[in-house]
Amino acid sequence: MKSAFRNAYLFTVSLSRSLNPNTNPYLNLCSFSHKLPLLSTTYLSPPLLISRHRKVPGRSFSTTLSMSGGADSPSPSLDKQFEEFRSKLEESGSLREKIRAVVLEIESTTRLMHSGLLLVHQSRPVPEVLEKAKAQIGVLQGFYNRLAEITRECPGQYYRYHGDWKSETQTVVSLLTFMYWLETGNLLMHSEAEEKLGLNSLEFGLDIEDYLIGVCFMSNEMPRYVVNQVTNGDYDCPRKVLKFLTDLHAAFRMLNLRNDFLRKKFDGMKYDLRRVEEVYYDVKIRRLTGTGDSKDANQGVVEGEDYDVKIRG
Amino acid sequence: MLLTRLASSTVHRLFIVASKPNPHLLHQGAALQIPPKTARTMSRTSESSSSSSSFKEAFGNYADYLNNLNEKRERVVKASRDITMNSKKVIFQVHRISKYNRDEVLDKAEKDLAAVTKQYMVKLVKELQGTDFWKLRRAYSPGVQEYVEAATFCKFCRTGTLLHLDEINATLLPLSEPSIEPLQINVLDYLLGLADLTGELMRLAIGRISDGELEYAKKICQFVRDIYRELTLIVPYIDDGSDMKIKMDTMLQSVVKIENACFSVHVRGSEYMPLLGSSEPSSFLLGVSDVEL
């Protein structure tokens, strides 16, 4: 059958030139037209082609290809290679599972810290709130150490697994920077954040983009904080927050960002800034901030409203 | 009440002053009378404000880091695109193979592949040192996959065997100085490239069948089946394996296409007109003398 198949090509071409090539799907005429002249070359010995040979042309062609390996069984080297891949990938898979376990614990710790920190919105005294949250930093250090240990087994592959701890780390940074700001009114720098978590950039560091995104998340907390502080009578807060957030926004504007997640978060910061400005303005025009005026609060409000009307035309 | 408020704000101010000597803040009294906009301008332009200038310094560093990272990423993406385009040319070159031009086609393909290695893969060597190898993987992975596809395709057509990852990495060693880290393709990119190879092999098989090289097509069929089988065991362990899963589906379709094509030829083979002079018992031309062609 096979030789017949092969021979059929030559036969159909030689006999039926008038045949419309398109009707016969197995006729590959275009390649055939240059095959015919070649038939007379010694490239393939003629007996193979015009053959009464029972020998299958295909098989002889394949021997010229010197195809190695058994006809039907996979070569052992193929198996071996894939076995190696499988064990390597299994290892990295189990590494990933270990990492995920630690990351889950990081996540539950940050949740604990976050819920504690939320008390500042209810005007609990800041030092008290910070006390509890700070205790958790030690716990976090422990977790990040474990991550460093785990990844120590595969040096240089920090970024292979980075996606697994990326968002939790961003949350951690946002909490730490918020706490630092509550304490000192300043921005926690990248290197300081790294130190707090017991990380070092040579081995297992804090990715700078994670840090920046964390800072953007922190700024999201500001409007709410400012509003609640004012409601509770701290009228100086808006000024401080405004200054801080303005400086922060200006600093971020120095960065050239791509259109990625970081850019999106940074774009959100200006809405936080605007909200804080509004609060600051509300407080200021009503003369609620302590300016040494001898006017009392109510009158201040009335005058504030007059002023409001005046400037708004 | 006003006095206590005044006192508390003064205490606040003192607290701030105590923690960070900041002459700017001492003038807050005057600044407070000014509408918000000017206050903001003041804080921006005040060079003596140590908090904002320390921001600036640190953020200057962050800006440098991000600039360098993004520029590097762009270079890697460009190199990856070049690799993709030229590897595709190699693949198309190999597709021109037939019984008659096998060696010349493969010689040219191998030459072109070596050129891709020397000209384009080499660009990745210096960019992907250290942690950047994994950090920028998304940028160069498509190019490397295409390269693996081209290299394995050439090897298969030359010898009928699979080019191993170690072998392909050995060819990359000469690209770099021995002192620096060599560029080595990782397992994931190799496997993804291998999955794409099966698609090209399917095209080759169908083409070979059209040319009548049924045995060759069967060899391809067997090879692709083996790869598919081996990969089914590995797919679950691949990092973010969603790409691979899609490729596995495509691969199965390719295998089935080849098998169906081989089947069609096998079953319908007896319907083909045998050559004049064929001694095939079923041939109606039995006994007719050979035709000189």
- Nearest neighbour of B55 by CB, restricted to A75, A209, A247: A247
Q: Does the pLDDT value for residue A294 go beyond 60?
A: no
At which residue do the structure tokens 């240990």 appear?
A149
Chain B residues near residue A43 by CB distance under 8 angstroms: 100
First to last CA, chain B: 117
In this predicted model, what pLDDT tens digit does every residue of B135-158 receive, in sequence order? 999 999 999 999 999 999 999 999
Q: Provide the token pair at B273.
A: 């007109």
Average pLDDT for A61-88: 66
Q: What CA dihedral angle connects A64, A70, A73 and A75, to 10 degrees?
A: -90
d(CA B188, CA B153): 18
Chain A residues near residue B289 by CB distance under 8 angstroms: none
Average pLDDT for A285-297: 61
% helix, strand, coil for chain A, step of 5: 70, 0, 25
Residue ranges, comma separated, of all CATH 1.20.58.190 domains in chain B are 66-184
pLDDT at B241: 81
Closest residue on chain A to B264 (Cα): A26
Q: Do B230 and A78 touch (CB under 8 A)?
A: yes
Helix (H) or strand (E) holding A62: helix A57-64
Higher pLDDT, A68 or A266: A266
Beta bridge partners of A204: A200
- Nearest neighbour of A89 by CB, restricted to B229, B237, B273: B237
pLDDT at B288: 56
Q: Does the pLDDT value for residue B214 go beyond 90?
A: no
Q: Which of A67, A181, A218, A311 to mutate to test the interface with B (most CBs of B within 10 A)?
A: A67
Q: Rounded to two decimals, what is the model's pTM? A: 0.71
Which positions ≥6 away from A96 have C-beta within 8 Å?
A161, A164, B239
d(CA B186, CA A152): 19
- The answer to whether domain B186-269 has CATH 1.20.58.200 is yes
pLDDT at B210: 86
- Nearest neighbour of B215 by CB, restricted to A59, A88, A160: A59
Q: Do B230 and A74 touch (CB under 8 A)?
A: yes
- The phi-psi region of residue B89 (left if phi > 0; otherwise alpha if psi is between -120 and 50; otherwise beta) is alpha
Question: What mean pLDDT, rounded, does chain A reach?
Answer: 78
pLDDT at A311: 65
Nearest to B283 by CA among B293, B269, B268, B273: B273
d(CA B43, CA B12): 18
Chain A residues near residue B49 by CB distance under 8 angstroms: 247
Higher pLDDT, B48 or A199: A199
d(CA B118, CA B171): 10
pLDDT band of B274, cuts 50, 70, 90: very low
- Rg of chain A in Å (alpha carbons): 37
* DSSP category for residue B235: G
Helices (H), chain B: 2-19, 23-26, 28-31, 36-45, 50-95, 102-116, 122-127, 132-135, 137-159, 165-172, 187-210, 214-234, 242-268
pLDDT band of A50, cuts 50, 70, 90: very low
In this predicted model, what pLDDT tens digit does every residue of B75-134 receive, in sequence order? 999 999 999 999 999 999 999 998 899 999 999 999 999 999 999 999 999 899 888 999
Chain A residues near residue B166 by CB distance under 8 angstroms: 81
Q: Provide the token pair at B83.
A: 């690799």
Nearest to B83 by CA among B157, B165, B150, B166: B150
Print the SS3 string covering A6-50: HHHHHHHHHHCCCCCHHHCCCCCHHHHHCHHHHCCCCCCCHHHHC
Q: Does the pLDDT value for residue A28 go beyond 90?
A: no
Helix (H) or strand (E) holding A137: helix A126-152
- Residues 18 to 47 of B: which have CB under 8 A from any A CB? 19-20, 28-29, 32-33, 35-36, 39-40, 43-44
> Looking at the predicted complex, does its ipTM rise above 0.90?
no
Q: Which CATH superfamily is domain B66-184 in?
A: Translin; domain 1 (1.20.58.190)
User: Can you state the angle between helices A76-117 and B187-210, rounded to 10 degrees?
Assistant: 130
The alpha carbon of residue B130 is apart from the nearest alpha carbon of chain A, in Å, by: 6
Q: Does the pLDDT value for residue A139 go beyond 90?
A: yes
At which residue do the structure tokens 């398109």 appear?
A22
Determine the 3-state secondary structure of A206 from DSSP.
coil
Residue ranges, comma separated, of all CATH 1.20.58.200 domains in chain B are 186-269
At which residue do the structure tokens 């090879």 appear?
B223
- Nearest neighbour of A85 by CB, restricted to B134, B213, B234: B234
The alpha carbon of residue B84 is apart from the nearest alpha carbon of chain A, in Å, by: 23
Chain B residues near residue A250 by CB distance under 8 angstroms: 44, 52, 55
pLDDT at B292: 52
Chain B residues near residue A82 by CB distance under 8 angstroms: 230-231, 233-234
**B226 touches A at CB < 8 Å:** yes
Residue B145 in contact with residue B189, Cβ under 8 Å? yes
In this predicted model, what pLDDT tens digit does every residue of A188-234 receive, in sequence order? 999 999 999 999 888 899 999 999 999 999 999 999 999 999 999 88
Which positions ≥6 away from B91 have C-beta within 8 Å?
B149, B150, B153, B200
Instruction: Phi first, then psi: give them for residue A200, nearest 5 degrees.
Output: -135, 140
B13-22, B53-62, B174-183: which range is least confident on average? B13-22
pLDDT at A36: 41
The alpha carbon of residue A137 is apart from the nearest alpha carbon of chain B, in Å, by: 23
Which positions ≥6 away from B278 have C-beta within 8 Å?
A3, A4, A7, A52, B285, B286
pLDDT at A305: 55
d(CA B144, CA B138): 11
